[in-house]
């Protein structure tokens, strides 16, 4: 038996260092590297159990071409010749914008950018804009600070208190937990602010069960306390632009009025404000809150709270939404040309259908499952079904792959070479193939290169993984004496990332000052026809639509007993939105609010378990994110025959 180290490339803040045991060419066990400063010797459930997917009987290991309702296996040459022929024909007839290359987060490896380079060289073709995951929050932080990054993750040990604001670390990024535990052991207070009672509550000292999207009002209530008690930091006027307009907005309502909107007791808001003022306090901004119509305003309000309370630029402070995961890499080296046209990601279905001059004739999907993961699944599926030619590169028959004309079998995270940074800390890693790809699977880089040969574009993507990785770090890490072999050892922190953000440099905005928001968004609305907000959230058992084990039976929906329309625990019911309905099994949980319905994200659309079948495609206020969790739903008994 041999043991190999690699980094996890999945869409997760943690980017763990994995140790894999290999016996006779087969991986037999996965575990977390005990010496990695963030991985700390354990893996999350979904990756610890990844071998169920790696060796699943339904893994795609040969190229497939549609034949009637099913697929026929073909050779790589046949598949690539067919694809290259279509690409050249469509470009000649309609121009390169008639091809749409869609990439999502199946792998966060930097070498995905080389695949993108092929499409830039071939076109450039149509690509996506906006971001289904974090569009609003990204835009908020860019507006307020001019860039998105965070204090070092271990700086949390300098906090007097930590506000986990809409974040389920226990499920979505469990490697934060040992640090929270250590912080608490040092006397730090950890507070969770979330409409949903979830596993992370058990790791906190206080839980504030705010109204969905009530966070803006809660932040205003806290700001009101800071102003009323003279607790706004003395340097706030110097650090921030727009302080007067911000103050006027805060004073437009009383503490009690703001708290009413937030559905939080005034005493609780006062306590949180006092924690902030005492400092140092770090706000860990979760990714869920941004997925609301007012998501950008909410994150901007948290940015403002941090800045006016004196918690920016200090150890133990900060308002952390993201770690600049590509910050150590020379991504400019991958860029050739900008797209002539973009499709707004959350509106994928509508916009692919509506695109004209030229219409979109071909879609290529890399590392994404838009049918299951983008809102309005039926529209997305219809948009794909009605294209002339759809290619999906994936290792499994996702909902999207099922609708493709050609499915190309890709290597998994254990079969590929790549580079990763993390969006939950500043450590870097190399992904190094533990075993060769199963069957005929190939890496995305190999696929791009084989295709480039047929398109006369070999030069645009030529290079071994080692060469591409070296190119990506030569100009950035090279001057710090860091090479690939150093990264391969696994414990290199990005030397370009500051330990305390903005401690040595001002915010990266035009004025060098924090931009405070000055306009309040509308209050969250109730809709009596659909009184529950559909919260389709991360589950331990899956990475988005990549479930550890196949799912069967109806999707479970968790609601408060008084929000269950008289249904009992375990009952079958219909979960309805303005778009349609799904058959679900009801779970009652008295710890939940009466205005939410909680389901797992990532269920299969074709199997009738997908939240996005019910979620309307709506944009966030800024950043072209998806307002995924605003969706109103109701529960109804199943119609009896
Ligand atoms: N096991 C597992 N891990 C994952 C993933 C997965 O699918 N499964 N997904 C990965 C991905 S893609 C991402 S982006 C990350 C982050 O994954 P996310 O699931 O986006 O992030 P979390 O921060 O864990 O959870 C979102 C939290 O936001 C809360 N929330 C929703 N609306 C509001 C609101 O209005 N106010 C407040 N205060 N809170 C709200 C939800 O209740 C939830 O607790 O995790 C990654 N990790
Ligand atoms: N209702 C609702 N919708 C949501 C969310 C939600 O909370 N609720 N969360 C949103 C969020 S945070 C995100 S990030 C998105 C995620 O949306 P996606 O990124 O589309 O999610 P995945 O299901 O992880 O799909 C990735 C696909 O890539 C494949 N894959 C994995 N590795 C590779 C690789 O190396 N190469 C190739 N070619 N393929 C690979 C996987 O098998 C999988 O089918 O979904 C969003 N959608
Ligand atoms: Mo995400």
Q: What's 9-64 look like in SS3?
A: CCCCCCCCEEEEEEECCEEEEEEECCCCCCCCCCCCHHHHCCHHHHCCCCCCCCCE
| Ligand 1 closest atom vs CA 45 | 1
Helix (H) or strand (E) holding 372: helix 370-373
Q: What are phi and psi of 302, to 5 degrees?
A: -70, -40
193 near 165, Cβ under 8 Å? yes
Using pLDDT thresholds of 50, 70 and 90, give the confidence band for residue 641.
Answer: very low
CA 239 – ligand 1 centroid, Å: 31
Query: Which residues, at least 6 apart from 186, have a Cβ–Cβ distance to it below 8 Å?
Result: 157
Q: Would you say residue 589 has pLDDT above 90? A: yes
Token pair listed for 255 = 């503490």
Residues 550-587 pLDDT 10s: 999 999 999 999 999 999 999 999 999 999 999 999 99
Give all strands of the β-sheet with 26-32 in edge-to-edge order. 2-7, 17-23, 26-32
What is the CB < 6 Å shell around ligand 2? 11, 104-107, 132-133, 366-369, 373, 393-396, 398, 410, 444, 536-537, 543-546, 601-602, 611-612, 615, 628
Using pLDDT thresholds of 50, 70 and 90, give the confidence band for residue 45.
Answer: very high
Query: Best of 194, 301, 589 to mutate for ligand 1, by most ligand atoms within 8 A of CB?
Result: 194
CB atoms within 10 A of CB 238: 9
Using pLDDT thresholds of 50, 70 and 90, give the confidence band for residue 185.
Answer: very high
For residue 368 and ligand 1, the question of a CB distance below 6 A is answered with no
Residues in the chain: 641
For residue 138 and ligand 1, the question of a CB distance below 6 A is answered with no
The residue among 171, 87, 11, 217 whose CA lies nearest residue 540 is: 171
DSSP strand pairing (542-543 vs 546-547):
antiparallel
pLDDT at site 526: 84
| Domains in the chain, CATH or no CATH each | 64-125+332-415+436-465 (3.40.50.740), 135-324+509-515 (3.40.228.10), 532-640 (2.40.40.20)
Among all ligands shown, which has an atom nearest to the Cα of 200?
A: 1
CB atoms within 10 A of CB 449: 21
Query: Best of 44, 106, 542, 616 to mutate for ligand 2, by most ligand atoms within 8 A of CB?
Result: 106
DSSP summary character for residue 117: H
For residue 131 and ligand 1, the question of a CB distance below 6 A is answered with no
pTM of the model: 0.98
Among all ligands shown, which has an atom nearest to the Cα of 105?
A: 2
| Ligand 2 closest atom vs CA 601 | 8
CA 508 – ligand 3 centroid, Å: 25
CA 278 – ligand 3 centroid, Å: 33
Apex CA 318: angle with CA 313 and CA 322, to 5°? 120
How many distinct helices (H) and strands (E) make up the chain?
21, 28
Using pLDDT thresholds of 50, 70 and 90, give the confidence band for residue 640.
Answer: low
């Amino acid at each position: 038996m041999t043991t190999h180290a690699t980094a996890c490339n999945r869409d997760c803040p943690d980017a763990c260092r994995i140790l894999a045991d290999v016996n006779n060419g087969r991986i037999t066990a996965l575990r977390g590297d005990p010496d990695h400063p963030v991985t700390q010797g354990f893996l999350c459930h979904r990756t610890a159990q990844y071998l169920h997917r790696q060796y699943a009987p339904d893994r795609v290991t040969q190229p497939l071409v549609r034949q009637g309702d099913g697929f026929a296996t073909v050779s790589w040459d046949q598949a690539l010749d067919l694809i290259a022929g279509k690409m050249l024909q469509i470009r000649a007839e309609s121009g390169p914008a008639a091809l749409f290359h869609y990439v999502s987060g199946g792998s966060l490896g930097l070498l995905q950018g080389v695949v993108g380079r092929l499409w830039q060289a071939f076109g450039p073709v149509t690509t996506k804009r906006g971001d289904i995951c974090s569009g609003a929050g990204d835009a908020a932080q860019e507006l307020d600070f001019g860039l998105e990054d965070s204090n070092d993750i271990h700086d949390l040990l300098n906090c007097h208190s930590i506000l986990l604001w809409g974040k389920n670390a226990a499920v979505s990024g469990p490697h934060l937990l040992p640090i929270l535990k250590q912080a608490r052991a040092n006397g730090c207070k950890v507070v969770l602010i979330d409409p949903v009672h979830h596993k992370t509550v058990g790791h906190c000292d206080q839980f504030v069960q705010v109204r969905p999207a009530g966070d803006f009002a809660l932040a205003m209530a806290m700001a009101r306390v800071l102003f009323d008690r003279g607790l706004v930091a003395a340097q706030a006027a110097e650090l921030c632009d727009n302080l007067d307009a911000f103050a006027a907005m805060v004073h437009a309502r009383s503490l009690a009025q703001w708290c009413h909107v937030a559905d939080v007791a005034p005493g609780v808001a006062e306590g949180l404000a006092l924690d902030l003022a005492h400092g140092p306090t770090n706000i860990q901004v979760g990714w869920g809150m941004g997925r609301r119509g007012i998501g950008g305003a909410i994150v901007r309000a948290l940015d403002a709270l941090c800045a006016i309370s004196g918690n920016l630029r200090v150890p133990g402070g900060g308002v952390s939404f993201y770690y600049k995961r590509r910050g150590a890499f020379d991504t400019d080296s991958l860029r050739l040309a900008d797209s002539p046209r973009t499709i707004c990601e959350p509106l994928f279905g509508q916009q692919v259908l509506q695109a004209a001059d030229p219409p979109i004739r071909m879609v290529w999907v890399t590392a994404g499952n838009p049918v299951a993961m983008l809102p309005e699944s039926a529209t997305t599926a219809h948009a794909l079904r009605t294209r002339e030619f759809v290619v999906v590169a994936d290792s499994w028959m996702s909902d999207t792959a099922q609708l493709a004309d050609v499915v190309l079998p890709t290597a998994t995270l254990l079969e590929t070479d790549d580079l990763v940074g993390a969006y939950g800390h500043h450590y870097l890693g190399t992904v190094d193939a533990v075993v060769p790809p199963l069957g005929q699977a190939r890496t995305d880089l190999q696929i791009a290169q084989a295709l480039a040969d047929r398109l006369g574009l070999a030069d645009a993507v030529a290079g071994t993984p080692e060469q591409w990785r070296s190119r990506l770090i030569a100009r950035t890490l090279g001057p710090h004496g860091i090479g690939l072999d150093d990264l391969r050892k696994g414990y290199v922190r990005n030397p370009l990332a500051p330990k305390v953000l903005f401690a040595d440099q001002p915010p990266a905005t035009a004025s060098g000052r924090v931009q405070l928001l000055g306009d309040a968004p509308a209050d969250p609305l109730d809709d009596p026809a659909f009184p529950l907000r559909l919260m389709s959230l991360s589950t331990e058992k899956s990475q988005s639509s990549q479930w550890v084990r196949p799912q069967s039976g109806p999707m479970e929906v968790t609601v408060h007993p008084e929000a269950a329309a008289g249904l009992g625990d375990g009952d079958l019911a219909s979960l309805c939105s303005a778009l349609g309905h799904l058959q679900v099994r009801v779970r009652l949980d008295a710890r939940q609010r009466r205005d939410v319905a909680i389901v797992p994200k990532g269920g299969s659309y074709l199997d009738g378990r997908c939240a996005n079948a019910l979620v309307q495609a709506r944009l966030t206020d800024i950043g072209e994110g998806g307002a995924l969790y605003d969706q109103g739903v109701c529960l109804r008994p199943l119609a009896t025959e």
